[in-house]
Amino acid sequence: MSDQIQLAFPAITSLDPGSSGWNILAPMAMEETRKHTDKEYCNQLKILNVIGKGSQAWTGDVYNSMRSNGSHGRAEIIAEEAGFEKRTIQTYGYVCKAVKITIRIVISTKFPKLKFHHFQVVAPLECRKQIGWLNRAGRKDWSVSQLRTALRFNKSEWLPRAFNNWPPFIIEEWQQKYPGQLPGEILRNILFFTTDNGDKVIDVFGGGGNMKLAAEDMDRLCISYDIDPQYPGIIRHNALNIFPDSEAKLVFLDPPYWSQKKGEYRSDPDDLSNMDLVPFYLAMEKIVDNAYVALARNGYCVLIIGATQADGEYYDHALEIYSRIKSNWRIVNRVSGAYPTSQYTGNDVKRAIQNKQMLNLYTTILFLQKA
């Protein structure tokens, strides 16, 4: 039994899992380690009934064990002898059966403030959606009522963008704040078009944690690196070196757009945003090569990078980088991701017209597949 669970539920020490034949895995999960008699089931339920509302999931697991171990016809009777109403015990059992024990272990350990009724609200959904909604509820500290309301107003399913011209998206409230962050909608679309549930994703410039959070919502395994991590769980790693992980379905590259964020990430010369132009391109060649090595067969590399306009010059970084690495890759698509016009002032527009120079209003998202 973990110290975390003991502190959160001190009363469960009375369960004595070693001798009772029950193993408490998490605040919302218990497993049977040996078969019990009807009397033992009844005594176990009596203990859980005394503990009260903190034990609904454990009660549900006991009830389901009773039903699967030959006490099916007597489960409700035994539960009533232990002090539970028939409808209540059936509800506990339904939730614990509908929400897999692995999901309950991971989510309740990660978000110990979530209650049994959070799991009850999502129980009718399929597993991927259960995970997504429970993660949202945990991160946003939603009450059961707030989770229920969010589900009620989620009348239409999220749909990926069917075209390769994506409009401006907002930065969502769940996202971490850091320079150059991408809207969550862009991340979801990238994940949808390149991966499936359970696939491994490597995020090479993941210091802020946004791809990690988006992948979690979509039931992908995301391993994130950064030269200067800002979010828990990000591995400190310089992308110019071979990646620590391999066999990924997607490697996601969201590097600094050359000098546009100079000094906003790090001040040392190893940071891409502080490099001169040619070293920057050489560094990106090396990073894309590392991505190729880290990908599984037919895996994808998605590079998102905007052009730079400076001193009357236009630097199309996506075009330049692709021209340097194209022999190893099959280009799947080139997406135009729009910026909001609000990033420019009225004076910027006037000067652009006077100088006959168009302002850049999009970023390029290159979808590449390992050849």
Domain membership of residue 117 (yes or no) is yes
* Residue 220 confidence (pLDDT) above 50: yes
* Residue 14 confidence (pLDDT) above 60: no
Average pLDDT over residues 197-202: 94
* Residue 321 confidence (pLDDT) above 70: yes
Residue 231: which pLDDT band, with cuts at 50, 70 and 90? confident
Contact between residue 364 and residue 334 where contact means Cβ atoms under 8 Å apart:
yes
Q: Which of 92-96, 196-200, 270-274, 320-324 has the lowest mean pLDDT?
A: 270-274
Helix (H, G, I), strand (E, B) or coil at 345: coil
Domain membership of residue 187 (yes or no) is yes
Whether residue 286 sits in one domain with residue 224? yes
* Residue 367 confidence (pLDDT) above 50: yes
- Which pLDDT value is given to residue 10? 38
Domain membership of residue 289 (yes or no) is yes
Whether residue 125 sits in one domain with residue 234? no
pTM over 0.75: no
Whether residue 60 sits in one domain with residue 208? no
Q: What CATH number does the domain containing 294 carry?
A: 3.40.50.150
State how many domains the chain has: 2
- The Cα 213–Cα 104 span in angstroms is 19
Closest CA to 307 of 353, 259, 262: 259
Domain membership of residue 28 (yes or no) is yes
Whether residue 283 sits in one domain with residue 209? yes
Amino acid at 1: M
* Residue 146 confidence (pLDDT) above 60: yes
Helix (H) or strand (E) holding 367: strand 362-370
Domain membership of residue 158 (yes or no) is no
Domain membership of residue 159 (yes or no) is no
Average pLDDT over residues 139-146: 90
Whether residue 171 sits in one domain with residue 125? no
**Residue 118, domain extent:** 3-153
Whether residue 74 sits in one domain with residue 7? yes
Domain membership of residue 160 (yes or no) is no
Kindly report, residue by residue over 276-305, the tens digit of the pLDDT: 999 999 999 999 999 999 999 999 999 999
- The Cα 227–Cα 271 span in angstroms is 8
- The Cα 85–Cα 262 span in angstroms is 65
- The Cα 125–Cα 98 span in angstroms is 9
Q: Which of 18-32, 134-148, 328-342 has the lowest mean pLDDT?
A: 18-32
